[in-house]
Amino acid sequence: MSPSSDRPELSAAEWNLIQDLRALPDEALRARVQTSLNELLFFFRTPKCQGIGVEGFPCGYPRSSCEDCHQIWDMLDKVAERSRQA
């Protein structure tokens, strides 16, 4: 299959993600994972908290506290570590 403007070429990691999502056995679980991934991607794109960003400016309109952001990053680190150990 050749890439086109409506079907761009995907990396191996992107294909693996799609295959893993499709392999989930339950429709409700797939929907929950998709919702969680959408929220996670939103967090990565707009991590607006009350702290100071790397540029020395506030992160933007505060949607959560710095503690909330740090808890999320800590949890993601724990999940990544568990994945490496499996």
Same domain for 30 and 50, yes or no, is: no
Number of C-alpha atoms within 13 angstroms, CB side, residue 51? 12
**57 CB burial (10 A radius; 0-12, 13-18, 19+):** exposed
What is the span of the domain harbouring residue 25? Answer: 10-44
Length of the chain: 86
Same domain for 18 and 38, yes or no, is: yes
Q: Is 61 left (phi over 0), alpha (psi -120 to 50) or beta?
A: beta
Q: What is the pLDDT of residues 28-70, one digit of tens each?
A: 999 999 988 988 888 777 766 656 555 555 565 556 667 777 7
- Amino acid, single-letter form, for residue 19: Q
Q: How many domains does the chain have?
A: 2
Q: What is the pLDDT of residues 1-37, one digit of tens each?
A: 455 556 678 999 999 999 999 999 999 999 999 988 9
Same domain for 30 and 51, yes or no, is: no
CA distance 72 to 61: 18
Q: What is the pTM of this model?
A: 0.59
Residue 2 placed within a domain:
no
